[in-house]
Amino acid sequence: MPESLREIRLPADLCSLAEKKYGKDFATLEDLFVFILRSLVDEQAQEMDEAEARMIEERLRQLGYLEPTG
The domains of the chain are located at: 27-70
Asked whether the beta carbons of 69 and 58 are under 8 A apart, the reply is no
* Per-residue model confidence as pLDDT tens digits over 16-27: 999 999 999 999
Residue 20 sits at φ, ψ, to 5 deg, of -65, -40
* Per-residue model confidence as pLDDT tens digits over 2-13: 789 899 999 999
Q: What one-character DSSP code corresponds to residue 26?
A: -
* Per-residue model confidence as pLDDT tens digits over 25-65: 999 999 999 999 888 887 766 776 767 878 888 888 888 88
**For the range 7-12, what are the long-range contacts, defined as Cβ-Cβ under 8 Å and sequence gap of 24 or more?**
none
Q: Report pLDDT for 1.
A: 67
Confidence of residue 70 (pLDDT cuts 50, 70, 90): low
Determine the straight-line distance between the first and last CA of the chain, rounded to whole angstroms: 44
Candidates 11, 45, 15; CA nearest to 33 is 15
pTM over 0.95: no
